[in-house]
Structure 1
């Protein structure tokens, strides 16, 4: 079950991936934009980068080289990225199941 907060985060991440110019452009420009696969790849890459950054911040905190605020911020960002990826995955699975239910 997706919460409204997770949906809002997923929407914001998708807008960030597509860029402000694509969101405000007409249908002609949208057709020339990145495909679904590219958007999905970017979301996965962002999630991995956020996760690695959070791990680096945690290790630095343990060594006494980072502030706790930086660690909490990095972990929160990684969590938001993971929730976005999970929301996208859930929507893809739902779309696939809906297609499989269609009569031939």
Structure 2
């Protein structure tokens, strides 16, 4: 019987350099701040599109700017809906897991 030059159990239990580089509590805060930043960007884009559309309707401002703002808002909305669908799908997969 041949012997291995290492023990797989000790190799798996030793900390890796990436594990010790950042604290464990840092990752959720970074993800939460990124999520909050994305929501803020979405809200800002929607408000800008609404303001541009109102300015165009009331004062006859540049229609090209209105089309551009509405297109940006539509792209942001599509992205948010896609993300929401993925989150709902992941949640449903968790619910289907046997206990």
If the length of structure 1 is used for normalisation, what is the TM-score? 0.62
User: What corresponds to 1:63 in structure 2?
Assistant: 58
Larger radius of gyration: 2
SS at match of 2:59: coil
Instruction: Determine which structure has greater relative contact order: mean sequence separation of CA pairs < 8 Å that are 6+ residues apart, divided by chain length.
Output: 1
Gaps of 5+ in 1: 1-25
1:54 deviates by: 0.7
CA distance in 2, matches of 1:61, 1:86: 27
| Matched residue count | 77
Query: Partners of 2:96 and 2:58 in 1: how far apart?
Result: 54
Q: TM-score, normalised by structure 2?
A: 0.65
**Residue number among 59, 70, 77 corresponding to 1:75 in the alignment:** 70
CA RMSD after TM alignment:
2.3
What are the ranges of 5 or more consecutive residues in structure 2 without an aligned counterpart?
A: 1-17
